[in-house]
Amino acid sequence: MTIQVTQSVNPDPFAAATDIATSFSGLKPVAVIFFASSCYDPTNISQAMKEKFPDATVFGCSTSGELISGKMLKHSVVAMALESDVIADIAADVIDISDRKSPSRAIIGLAEKLGSKPLDLDPDKYVGIILIDGLSCAEEQVMEKIGDMVNISVIGGSAGDDLAFKKTWVYLDGKAYDNSAILVLIKPKSRFDLIKTQSFSRMNKILTPTLVDEASRKVMEFNDIPAVTAYAEAIGVDEKDVASYFMTHPVALFAGEEPFVRSPQRIDERSIYFYCQIRKGVDLEVLSSTDIVTDTNIAIKTIEKKNGPIKGLINFNCILRTLQLDKEKKNDEYGAIFQNIPTIGFSTYGEEYIGHMNQTATMLLFF
């Protein structure tokens, strides 16, 4: 099976694409996935990558840090080439976030290209990858629409811009798009599986959102009292200090035992803005952080035990996890987990799997 990964730190997008093409020489990839720091001009990097692989579906996005087998990087381009012994079929399209009907049009069109209707796509045979503008605040609506129409798993991440929070980009076949998502449906030839991992324990404290502005991801009240007060009480700290606990104590929806993490972003008077939409009346549990490296190692070992050696891995790793790893000086340890696995990934502004979430790594793996 041919899955190869490579990287370039050459700051010139055309030279970086040449480095990548040289590394992939001799391959005839069906798909090339690339994640590029926002230091690369979006139009040029997308054009350069497509020029090097004209026969492949070439897609990617801007990042807030990159990941390749063994290393976490900054200001680089990482790429993965997948040949026809890995991918039986592939179809990709752009979703215009400003157009409410664009997701359904894209899904119907992509399924048609694969000879199917959206709902008939077999979850055991097909998987979707989504890369979405990380500043659009539209991940929930796009993922919900996709989830309405298909039963297959769709996994991915929100594009980044090296923490500038100004503009993020998604790329498809030589063009760069903002306020958009790239949806790619793949029929792998090999077995595939997914990992969704987050490093938290439950504190057994419930916060029920009782007054929210869902569209702006703002919670005014939990448990019928001001959000900041309720959150401070739940984690046992002074209200004035709560912001410094946001990274280590996010909240989560629980689907059975499976958490869907929602990270607090900032305080506005006594309200809290989140990086994810919060639904009124749906209970959230307060979390306490555990060790990312340990938990990721366990997730990788568990899936290897189930499926055998991993032949390729795409990691959509939350920027907040990357910042925590930075703070704990564990970037090298985290990168080392993927040392012997052909891996690319990036630090995201949000992760996608069934819905939108934070402080999570979602991964697509080929076996």
| 148: contact with other proteins by CB under 8 A | yes
Rounded to 10 degrees, what is the CA torsion of 268, 273, 279, 280? -10
Check binding of 117 to other proteins (CB under 8 A): no
Instruction: Please state the closest distance from residue 220 (CB atom) to other proteins, in A.
Output: 17
Count of residues binding other proteins (CB under 8 A)? 21
The answer to the question of residue 132 lying near other proteins (CB under 8 A) is no
Distance CA 363, CA 367 (A): 13
1 lies in the binding site for other proteins (CB under 8 A)? no
| Sole window of 20-28, 174-182, 249-257, 319-327 interacting with other proteins (rule: CB under 8 A) | 249-257
Q: Rounded to the nearest whole angstrom, what is the least distance from the CB of residue 208 to other proteins in the complex?
A: 10
Binding to other proteins by residue 285, rule CB under 8 A? no
258 touches other proteins (CB under 8 A): yes
194 binds other proteins (CB under 8 A): no
Helices (runs of H) and strands (runs of E) counted in the chain: 8, 27
| Alpha-carbon radius of gyration of the chain | 20
Q: Going by DSSP bridges, is the β-strand pair 127-132/153-158 parallel, antiparallel, or unpaired? A: parallel
Contact between 281 and other proteins by CB under 8 A: the answer reads yes
Using CB under 8 A, pick the residue from 202, 282, 290, 327 that binds other proteins: 282
Tell me the C-alpha distance between 158 and 137, whole Å. Answer: 10
Residues 6+ apart with CB under 8 A from 256: none
In the bound state with other proteins, the residue whose beta carbon lies nearer, of 22 and 151, is 151
Residue 27 CB contacts under 8 Å (≥ 6 apart), including other chains: 2, 4, 81, 83
283 lines the binding site for other proteins (CB under 8 A)? yes
- Among candidate residues 20, 1, 153, 133, the one with its CA nearest the CA of residue 80: 20
Residues 332-361 interacting with other proteins (rule: CB under 8 A): 354-355
- Angle (CA) 251 252 254, round 5°: 155
Q: Is 140 in the site for other proteins (CB under 8 A)?
A: yes
Binding footprint of other proteins on the chain (CB under 8 A): 119, 123, 140, 144-145, 147-149, 151, 253, 255-256, 258, 260, 279-283, 354-355
